[in-house]
Structure 1
Amino acid sequence: MLYGAMKISVGAGLKLAFRPWVEGLEHVPARGPAILASNHLSFSDSFFLPVVLDRKVTFIAKSEYFTSPGVKGKLTAAFFKGVGQLPVDRSGKRGAGEAAVRSGIAVLERGELFGIYPEGTRSPDGRLYRGRPGGLARVALATGAPVLPVAMIDTEKIQPPGKVMPKLMRPGIRIGEPLDFTRYQGMEGDRFILRSVTDEVMYAIMKLSGQEYVDTYASVVKKAMEEEAKRKKSGGGETAGDERPTDTPD
């Protein structure tokens, strides 16, 4: 009920203001479980993708979005619940990964759509980074659900990290043909299989998005950027504000 009302109100506004274009909607099944594995360029990715779909898609979100104090915090929590986000506590990396996997499996077992960002965090510079195998591949192999590669286009230009006001322009969404990994079911404990599945999905996303691929985790690059910004600030050179702002994983 809340999701439907939120999608109508927010979705109508997003469509009217930004007019997102979409290709490949025919690949999304009309019913039954499926995983939408997307690149991650902007905070707004989790809103633009659901807007163009007729079905509800559930993403994982930081628990901080649901627990922040004050009026703003309560409004943010209500909004994220309304658009179908699931909170995951990321204070412990291993526990967070297990929680995300369990949540994804539960969504798919209900016959719904589950959205995930294999990179684990937003790209710091618009390039496509190495996918993390712990979530996407494990959920896919545990459920047998097809994986649909998704490419978000130009969303980082609408609201770059650190910017409050969005720029009015048309983002795009490309949805690729479903990938079937049922041949690997029961092998989610094999790290080589998990890596192979993840790399296959990331290659499909790269082909759809046209992004340059970097065989490094985005979180490693972000950490290096943050440390460089701190070094420049403490050394009396350029300030951290002169660097492109980085964001926390989401």
Structure 2
Amino acid sequence: MNAFFWFLKYVLLGPLLKAVFRPWVVGVENVPKEGAAILASNHVSFFDSIFLPLMLDRHVTFLAKSEYFTGRGLMGWLSKMFFLGTGQIPIDRSGGKASEDSLNTGLRVLAEGALLGIYPEGTRSPDHRMYRGRTGIARMLLEARVPVIPVAMIGTQELMPAGVKLPRIRRVGIVVGEPLDFSRFTGLEGDRYVLRAVTDEIQYELWRISGQEYADVYASSVKATIPSLNR
């Protein structure tokens, strides 16, 4: 595991975040102590990728958007160093071949027996609602034949709403659901109807444990209509 990640978690950043935001977690026993698995999470804040790894004993690798690694200036450099130092992997979200490359990257992480964090919606929610999931997660879990654990981030959207430059002091939480079993679909990762059904089942469970309002459209479609959020 990356030494910088453990230094941030237990020495530099973790103790401070726990003291200030007092994060709580339930269901952590549902995360396997070893072996590959996918953590499928709702995505309402940049801080989701910080608090989830903070509260788990195992390292979590996220497939992070490439923009986090290419920013300019001091903040861009700090963002790049944080994501690289904590072992996150940049991906291109432009679609087509980039989507296939992202899938293969995720499969390599799982083949190493790691925990892979995925946001099925594909992007942060623009208005704190839950949106339709992308089917890449279904294809990945069926090809890798690994369990998927639903994770709901609670309250992180209130830390830094649009227009706020510094995080607000709010208590945040994490609900870890029971692993979902899709073994009945083994060998059907090429069937688009199966992929849609698996993805919808994951999203239903995330909706159930998060308590969010659900919108049956893609978040990216909504963000495209809001220039300030189309990033």
Output the CA distance in 1 between the equivalents of 2:113 and 2:163: 37
Structure 2 equivalent of residue 218 of structure 1: 219
Q: Which amino acid aligns with 2:224?
A: K
Structure 1 equivalent of residue 37 of structure 2: 34
Matched, 1:246 2:223: no
* Superposition map of 1:14-29 within 5 A: 14-29=17-32
Output the CA distance in 2 between the equivalents of 1:42 and 1:70: 22
* Structure 2 unmatched runs, 5+: none
Residue correspondences, number: 228
Output the CA distance in 2 between the equivalents of 1:246 and 1:68: 17
Matched, 1:87 2:90: yes
Q: Give yes or no for contact 1:130–1:217 (8 Å, CA) kept in 2.
A: yes
**Segments of 4+ moved more than 3 angstroms:** 69-72
Output the CA distance in 2 between the equivalents of 1:220 and 1:105: 27
* Superposition map of 1:1-250 within 5 A: 1-8=3-10, 9-90=12-93, 92-133=94-135, 135-226=136-227, 245-248=228-231
TM-score by length of 2: 0.94
Percent identical pairs in the alignment equals 54
* Structure 1 unmatched runs, 5+: 227-244
Output the CA distance in 1 between the equivalents of 2:230 and 2:26: 29
Q: Deviations over 1:157-194 (max 9, x none)?
A: 11113422000010111000000112212211110000
Q: Give yes or no for contact 1:42–1:161 (8 Å, CA) kept in 2.
A: no
Q: Give yes or no for contact 2:224–2:230 (8 Å, CA) kept in 1.
A: no
Q: Which amino acid aligns with 1:56?
A: H
Q: Give yes or no for contact 1:161–1:247 (8 Å, CA) kept in 2.
A: no
| SS state at 2:229 partner | coil
Shift of 1:247: 4.8
Q: Which amino acid aligns with 2:199?
A: T
Q: Which has the larger radius of gyration?
A: 1
